[in-house]
Amino acid sequence: MKLPFISEKRQSSSNVKKDLQRGSEAGAGTEGDYSEDQSVRGLSELYSPEQTGKSHVYDIADVLLDMGKINAKQHASLREKQQAKPASDVAELLLKMEKIGADDIFTAKAKLYDLEFRHIGPDDVQKEAFEKIDIDFIKSNSVCPIAMEKGTLVVATSEPANVLAIEDVKRQTQMELEVVVRTSRKIQKTWKKWQANRLLLSSSII
């Protein structure tokens, strides 16, 4: 391999410097052809985000509006209250409105998650289904097995967003589930009834 002599290195370095000088002079002449406005406009074309208004997640208030349960004025008023108190619960705000009841709230929850809302009283719950899950789990998660239908366990919940609780029921029972929505009050009445029945049974045995 041939190594370059010192004189050759110096000549090469000098040539590089001249090339750089010629390039910078040419670049300076080119910059003069563009105005400051044009250069800024070019940058803005690369990144120019659109200004959008505040957005929110589609919720039960929107569902009730679509259902005709509340009107546009009530919906706008609700959003104003939410903006004033961001930590406020939309369901509680809706319940303060006229003609909006618990059934409306839970019907909207069901529609929001593409589920069925069922009116099921404590007496309509099948004993075999209810006893698939520990009563303490039912209390703490507001999830209640209500029926067995063709090998599928029908589970009612007042909180369809609580996917972890539903998955826990599936893990505990090792069964296919059909999830429906039911009011928290009906679920509470159900477990209280079965708890009372167990107490009566245990006291009669003693």
Question: What is the CATH T-level fold of the domain 116-205, as seen in this structure?
Answer: GMP Synthetase; Chain A, domain 3 (3.30.300)
Q: Which residue type sits at 51?
A: Q
pLDDT at position 42: 42
Under 8 Å between Cβ of 146 and 189: no
pLDDT tens for each residue of 91-116? 999 999 988 999 999 999 999 999 99
- Across the range 48-65, mean pLDDT stands at 75
Concatenated DSSP letters of 60-81: HHHHHHHHTSS-HHHHHHHHHH
Mean pLDDT lowest for which of 13-17, 141-145, 169-173?
13-17
- Across the range 52-58, mean pLDDT stands at 68
pTM: 0.68
Percent of the chain scored above 70 by pLDDT?
Answer: 69
pLDDT tens for each residue of 164-191? 999 999 999 999 999 999 999 999 999 9
| pLDDT, mean over the chain | 81
Percent of the chain scored above 90 by pLDDT?
Answer: 63
Under 8 Å between Cβ of 181 and 118: yes
